[in-house]
Amino acid sequence: MAHIIIPPGWKIPEQQATPEDIYLDRRRFIRQLGYSGLGLWGLLSGLSGRGLSAASGPQTSGIYPAPRNAKFTLDRPLTAEQVAATYNNFYEFTLDKDRVHELAKNFKTSPWRIEVRGEVEKPFTIDVDDLLRKLPVEERLYRFRCVEAWSMAVPWTGIPMKKFIDLARPTSQAKYMRFVTFLDPKQAPGQRTQSWYPWPYFEGLRMDEAMNELTMLVTGIYGHPLPNQHGAPIRLIVPWKYGFKSIKSIVSIEFTREQPRTFWNQLVPDEYDFWANVDPRVPHPRWSQATERIIPSGKRVPTLPYNGYGDYVAGLY
Ligand code: MTE
């Protein structure tokens, strides 16, 4: 990305990835205890190695860990939670991947309302807690591929976007969805100091992309609510596209007739297009996309078209 700094080597210490069976055992254990919000939070943090995950709010009770949708499994080990939680892109806070979790720690994410507007039968605002009461959540294991040519494998918990769209009732004129992140320079230092960015961050999808079964509105990760550095309390996940499409901390969802502008495309149109589908054959102007480095080992593997999700989405294009 224009101002994304790619460090020469991985700054995070070498750590083991989490094999899927160990992660799932941990989930079972937590469920048996009966996850009830903050009481168990300390225990969860302990299990994940450090108290890195700042997340709170009533939406947690009874929801996590959510039932796992076994259809979405992985061909590689899950990234260790602590690794994913300390290697983040969230420019509203800092460009330093390993400092986002510190700088976002006190960001206030509850209460949190989302405005639903544009081409809908009736515009409305809804609190994330109410959304979670209305719509079912599930857990899925997805690969995650950043445009910077690194990748992870992550268990997300969220609402299939199609279910949200049914709730929002778009009109027949709705052809795209536009998503916007919060604007709060007091809480987000990057929005104060990096004035060259067109804050707030904004993204978009075509309706058929949004309705694809892979697309999720995500509220949790590793069996608990999203910590702030991952985009609490609610973000997008579109696993066949480069990670920058997966906008964090969403405050507005608009259904539009025209294709919306997107943050990175507006900034550097020659480098980032609206679609941003993972494609190993098309190099970024400044680096190859043919392979990716798995975080944290740095092991290089071939990148797959659509990040390996071609069976689900190739027909869209
Ligand atoms: N959303 C917002 N609002 N701001 C950002 O800087 N970075 C994007 C995406 N969503 C970003 C964002 C990029 S470049 C990536 S790779 C992913 O978030 C990183 O998600 P993660 O930190 O949860 O791994």
At what angle are helices 20-33 and 38-47 packed, to 10 degrees?
Answer: 160
- Mean pLDDT over the full length of the chain: 88
Per-residue pLDDT of 91-130, as tens digits, reads 999 999 999 999 999 999 999 999 999 999 999 999 999 9
Mean pLDDT of 56-85: 88
With 0-12 / 13-18 / 19 or more C-beta atoms within 10 angstroms meaning exposed / middle / buried, residue 36 is: exposed
Ligand 1 geometric centre to CA of 247 (Å) = 6
Q: What is the mean pLDDT of residues 233-239?
A: 98
248 lines ligand 1 (CB under 6 A): yes
Per-residue pLDDT at 53 = 53
Confidence tier at 38 by pLDDT (50, 70, 90) = very low
Query: What are the structure tokens assigned to 298, written together?
Result: 């740095």
| Ligand 1 pocket member 89 (CB < 6 A) | yes
What's the Cα-to-Cα distance from 76 to each of 153, 199, 216, rounded to whole Å? 7, 36, 21
Decide if 244 contacts 85 (C-beta within 8 A).
no
Share of the chain above pLDDT 90, in %: 80
pLDDT over 60 (residue 56): no
* Residue 31 pLDDT grade (very low, low, confident, very high; cuts 50, 70, 90): low
The distance of Cα 242 from the centroid of its chain, to the nearest Å, equals: 11
The residue that leads in pLDDT, 5 or 84, is: 84
Burial 79-92 (b: 16+ CB within 10 A, else e): bbbbbbbbbbbbbb
Note the pLDDT of residue 16.
43
Give the least confident one: 10-19, 78-87, 236-245, 257-266.
Answer: 10-19
**Distance from Cα 196 to the centre of ligand 1, integer Å:** 18
57: phi > 0 → left, psi -120 to 50 → alpha, else beta; which?
left
**What is the predicted pLDDT for the residue at 311?**
98
Q: Which of 89, 145, 235 to mutate to test the pocket of ligand 1 (most atoms within 8 A of CB)?
A: 89
Question: With a 6 A CB cut-off, is 182 part of the ligand 1 pocket?
Answer: no
- The pLDDT of residue 62: 85
For residue 242, the ligand 1 atom closest to its alpha carbon is 16
pLDDT of residue 59: 52
Q: Name the band, by pLDDT with cuts 50, 70 and 90, for residue 259.
A: very high
- From ligand 1's centre to the CA of 33, what distance in Å? 32
* Residue of 81, 248, 253, 284 to mutate, ligand 1, most atoms within 8 A of C-beta: 248
**285 pLDDT above the threshold of 70:** yes
Q: What is the pLDDT of residues 156-196, one digit of tens each?
A: 999 999 999 999 999 999 999 999 999 999 999 999 999 99
307 pLDDT above the threshold of 70:
yes
Please report, for residues 173, 240, 273, 309, 313, the alpha-carbon distance to residue 277 in angstroms, rounded to integers and kept in the order given. Answer: 25, 6, 9, 10, 10
The closest alpha carbon to 265, from 306, 183, 204, belongs to 204
Question: Mean pLDDT throughout 282-289?
Answer: 98
| The ligand 1 atom nearest the CA atom of 4 | 14
User: The tokens 């040519």 sit on which residue?
Assistant: 149
**Cα(152) to centroid(ligand 1), Å:** 13
Q: How confident is the model at residue 27 (pLDDT cuts 50, 70, 90)?
A: low
Instruction: Note the pTM of the prediction, 2 decimals.
Output: 0.88
Ligand 1 close to Cβ of residue 181 (< 6 A): yes
pLDDT at residue 3 tops 60? no
CA distances from 229 to 171, 215, 253, 275, 300 (A): 34, 20, 21, 25, 26
Q: Indicate whether residue 153 lines ligand 1 (CB < 6 A).
A: no
Q: Has residue 148 got a pLDDT over 80?
A: yes
Q: Please tell me the predicted confidence (pLDDT) of residue 126.
A: 98
pLDDT score, position 37: 35
Give 257's contacts (C-beta < 8 A, 6+ positions apart).
119, 173, 174, 175, 176
The answer to whether 95 and 79 have CB atoms below 8 angstroms apart is: no
Question: What domains can you pick out in the chain, each with its CATH number?
Answer: 14-316 (3.90.420.10)
> What residues contact residue 249 under an 8 Å CB cut-off, 6+ apart?
92, 109, 181, 182, 231, 232, 233, 234, 235
Q: Is 146 in the pocket of ligand 1 (CB under 6 A)?
A: yes
CB 142 less than 6 A from any atom of ligand 1: no
At CA 247, angle to CA 244 and CA 252, rounded to 5? 150
Residue 52: pLDDT band (50, 70, 90) is low
Cβ of residue 201 lying under 6 Å from some atom of ligand 1: yes
Whole-number Å distance, alpha carbon 202 to ligand 1 midpoint, is 11
Is residue 276 a contact partner of residue 244, using CB atoms and an 8 Å limit? yes
Q: Which atom of ligand 1 is nearest to the CA of 84?
A: 24
Report the alpha-carbon distance of residue 223 to residue 43 in Å, rounded. Answer: 13
* Residue 50 pLDDT greater than 90, yes or no: no
Band of pLDDT at residue 206, cut at 50, 70 and 90:
very high
pLDDT at 19 over 60: no
